[in-house]
Chain A
Amino acid sequence: MTAPDSVLAGLDFDATARHRGGANLEAHNVSAWFGSNKVLERVNLTMPARTVTALIGPSGCGKSTFLRILNRMHESVPSAKLGGEVWLNGDDIYAPGKRITETRRRIGMVFQKPNPFPAMSIADNVTAGLKLTGMRVSRSARADLIERCLTRGGLWNEVKDRLHAPGSALSGGQQQRLCIARSLAVDPEILLMDEPCSALDPTSTRRVEETIAELAPDVTIVIVTHNMQQANRVSQQCAFFLAAQGTPGGIVESGSTAQIFGNPRDPRTADYVNGRFG
């Protein structure tokens, strides 16, 4: 594992110092609607730096919607609306004048289905974000960055001999790690992961979980997962979402992972983490 600071050595943007050790993300009274249908009600959650936060709960309870609100992907759906505030290191990312592209660059996202750019090589996929956000790097810094991001994504050893092969030629698990490497290349302070392992086999899942553990000291991670064991393994903090029939979703209980799994306060949380429903 490369030391985190050297990941950015040679890059000429000054994000390095700003967020050494990740950033704090806080959601205040976040509500969400699709059209007139309210899907999320007054969610409050603090996602501190150097912590992996797992969002758990049955399907349709608003976890993914909440995650997409955290980096302003929610508003790309035409009928989507939202209320409340999301603070990144104390600044509301929805405040007027905040640039959406900058927010998304600082808060990266890994999706459920691996989505590398198929027309690009593995190397180009890693640096795609630099090109898309208009960051320039020298050729040697670029090679460095590719190696370091792929190493942090846990993919370097498997692809170092074929960096110019198309990204779509990789297996599903490798594609997902390529996507993680790609999101790391633009140096995000937060990394949101929406069920990143649900399409992967157990071996690839383990590799991604190792990657999460290695990233946690530098990047704040928020992960949505349906897998209780995974939530237990990778996170230090857990939030349990639930939507009763016909009502918007919300957080039932949040706290340290040990507490949520070992000693849940709410009986519904106990039922869910012990697999009695959901």
Chain B
Amino acid sequence: MTSLIDESRPDDTKEFARAEDQDRPRTIAAGLPPSDHVFRAIVRAIGVSVLVLTGSIGLFLGYQAIPTFKRYGFSFLTESQWQPQLDKVGISAVLLGTVIVALIALLIGFPLAFVTALYISEYAPARWKSVAISMIDLMAAVPSIIYGLFGFAFLEPHAQDLARWLHQNLGFIPIFKVDTDPNAASWSPAAYFGSAFIGGICVSLMIIPLACSVMRGVFSLAPIGEREAAYALGSTRWGMVRAVVLPFGRGGIIGGTMLGLGRALGETVAVMLVISQTFEIKFTILSSGTNTTSALIASRFSEATSAQLAALLTAGFVLFLLTLGVNTVAAVFVSRSRSGAGVEI
């Protein structure tokens, strides 16, 4: 071929130089039709606006937090009291309360959500399965104020009995200590009223449906080929679940749990109704009184002056960073697992 071109176009050396250079990646234009360009522009604009929205919330809160941090410095994070009239403002107690309530909710909610998801996806008979799924979805749709009312009117009295029982039997563990005699003939329920334990139970009711439906969704995606491989080896159902469903669903288990944790950290109304707000740093989860960041903000918001509002916004900013951190960690875990593609967090 070369000789042929050589003869016909003897002085066209430029062409050859170009042809020889061609052993490298070329720049290729996409060549999309105009309709695709328009569609892409619209979708991209909307997609970016979501990022801008989230980013601007963070920036706004951060900007609002500057004066408060300037005024109180590091003591904003270490001070436990919230008494603007005495110029004592800090979030250590509410932040600790937030984390404790969320962890209790997770400790109670995770096993229930996990086992329920496993039951629905692997064991429930087909007809009952769809009923159970819609019940769980319904549970997720119930407004949190309803959980708060239910928690206050129904759970609170019963949880006090449970708290007393825990106090009687596990009171030697420091976190189960309460400043009252659990074996007294006429015991006072007030000592257990509005504790972190009760707040956690109430929040767990709200994270169960969320965590459960994420986990169930992922479990049901476990590849049928691997399920059959396990069965064909003579596996029991539980063996198959352990060998196939759980390793596959790892991302969903973590993702669902973290999603629940995110909600637990931010849950406001229900917690406000069941807890009795205090501002002390305490690790005793059964004794009366606790607090969370969002409950603080919600309860002080209406009566706040502009300086107090700025302090509340700062507390909100810290909560924002906390949930951002939790979700980022979750996203890292989930993206490393196989089923991660199917999980939204």
Given known A-B contacts A78-B126, A115-B223, A115-B225, A73 and B243 have beta carbons under 8 A apart = no
Q: Which residues of B contact A102 (CB under 8 A)?
A: 234
Which listed residue, A71, A103, A132, touches B230 by the CB 8 Å rule?
A132
The reply to whether B234 and A73 form a contact with Cβ atoms under 8 Å apart is: no
Q: Which residues of B contact A105 (CB under 8 A)?
A: 233-234
A171 contacts the other chain (CB 8 A): no
Q: Which residues of A contact B235 (CB under 8 A)?
A: 101, 104, 129, 132-133
| Distance in Å: Cβ of B161 to nearest Cβ of chain A | 42
Total A-B contacts with CB atoms under 8 angstroms apart: 76
The reply to whether B247 and A119 form a contact with Cβ atoms under 8 Å apart is: yes
The reply to whether B226 and A183 form a contact with Cβ atoms under 8 Å apart is: no
The reply to whether A128 and B233 form a contact with Cβ atoms under 8 Å apart is: yes
The reply to whether A117 and B234 form a contact with Cβ atoms under 8 Å apart is: no
The reply to whether A111 and B234 form a contact with Cβ atoms under 8 Å apart is: no
What's the dominant secondary structure at chain B's contact region?
Answer: helix
| Distance in Å: Cβ of A264 to nearest Cβ of chain B | 32
Q: Which residues of B contact A116 (CB under 8 A)?
A: 229
Q: Which residues of A contact B259 (CB under 8 A)?
A: none
Which listed residue, B228, B239, B248, touches A115 by the CB 8 Å rule?
B228
The reply to whether A108 and B233 form a contact with Cβ atoms under 8 Å apart is: yes
Question: CB within 8 Å of B: which residues of A?
Answer: 71, 73, 76, 78, 101-106, 108-109, 111, 113, 115-120, 128-129, 131-134, 179, 182-183, 186
The reply to whether B233 and A186 form a contact with Cβ atoms under 8 Å apart is: yes
Q: Can you list 11 A-B pairs with a CB-CB distance of less than 8 A?
A: A73-B228, A78-B126, A102-B234, A111-B228, A116-B229, A117-B243, A119-B247, A129-B235, A131-B243, A132-B236, A132-B239
Which listed residue, A78, A104, A113, touches B233 by the CB 8 Å rule?
A104
- A117–B338 alpha-carbon span in the complex (Å): 12
- A73–B234 alpha-carbon span in the complex (Å): 10
| Distance in Å: Cβ of B160 to nearest Cβ of chain A | 45
The reply to whether B233 and A133 form a contact with Cβ atoms under 8 Å apart is: yes
B232 contacts the other chain (CB 8 A): yes
Given A101-B234, A179-B229, 10 extra CB contacts under 8 A? A73-B228, A76-B228, A103-B234, A104-B235, A108-B233, A117-B229, A117-B247, A129-B234, A133-B235, A183-B233
| Distance in Å: Cβ of A35 to nearest Cβ of chain B | 13
The reply to whether A132 and B225 form a contact with Cβ atoms under 8 Å apart is: no
Q: For the side of the interface on B, what is the size category? A: 20 to 34
| Distance in Å: Cβ of B224 to nearest Cβ of chain A | 9
Q: Which residues of A contact B231 (CB under 8 A)?
A: 73, 76, 104
Q: Which residues of B contact A179 (CB under 8 A)?
A: 229
Q: Which residues of A contact B240 (CB under 8 A)?
A: 132
B206 contacts the other chain (CB 8 A): no
B311 contacts the other chain (CB 8 A): no
B253 contacts the other chain (CB 8 A): no
B218 contacts the other chain (CB 8 A): no
B244 contacts the other chain (CB 8 A): yes
The reply to whether A182 and B233 form a contact with Cβ atoms under 8 Å apart is: yes
| Distance in Å: Cβ of B128 to nearest Cβ of chain A | 13
| Distance in Å: Cβ of B199 to nearest Cβ of chain A | 38
Question: CB within 8 Å of A: which residues of B?
Answer: 126, 223, 225-226, 228-236, 239-240, 243-244, 247-248, 338
The reply to whether A119 and B225 form a contact with Cβ atoms under 8 Å apart is: no
Q: Which residues of A contact B225 (CB under 8 A)?
A: 111, 113, 115
Q: Which residues of B contact A106 (CB under 8 A)?
A: 234
Q: Which residues of A contact B226 (CB under 8 A)?
A: 115, 117-118
The reply to whether B234 and A132 form a contact with Cβ atoms under 8 Å apart is: yes
Name B227's closest neighbour in chain A (CB-CB). A76
Q: Which residues of A contact B233 (CB under 8 A)?
A: 104-105, 108, 128-129, 132-133, 182-183, 186
The reply to whether B232 and A104 form a contact with Cβ atoms under 8 Å apart is: yes
Given known A-B contacts A115-B223, A115-B226, A117-B226, A108 and B232 have beta carbons under 8 A apart = yes
Q: Which residues of A contact B234 (CB under 8 A)?
A: 101-106, 129, 132-133, 186
Which listed residue, A108, A111, A131, touches B239 by the CB 8 Å rule?
A131
Name A118's closest neighbour in chain B (CB-CB). B338
Q: Which residues of B contact A108 (CB under 8 A)?
A: 232-233
Q: Which residues of B contact A134 (CB under 8 A)?
A: 239
Q: Which residues of B contact A111 (CB under 8 A)?
A: 225, 228-229, 232
Q: Which residues of A contact B126 (CB under 8 A)?
A: 78
Q: Which residues of A contact B232 (CB under 8 A)?
A: 71, 73, 104, 108-109, 111, 183
- A106–B232 alpha-carbon span in the complex (Å): 9
- A237–B24 alpha-carbon span in the complex (Å): 56
| Distance in Å: Cβ of A132 to nearest Cβ of chain B | 4
Name B244's closest neighbour in chain A (CB-CB). A117
Q: Which residues of B contact A129 (CB under 8 A)?
A: 233-235
Q: Which residues of B contact A104 (CB under 8 A)?
A: 231-235
Name B126's closest neighbour in chain A (CB-CB). A78
| Distance in Å: Cβ of A100 to nearest Cβ of chain B | 9
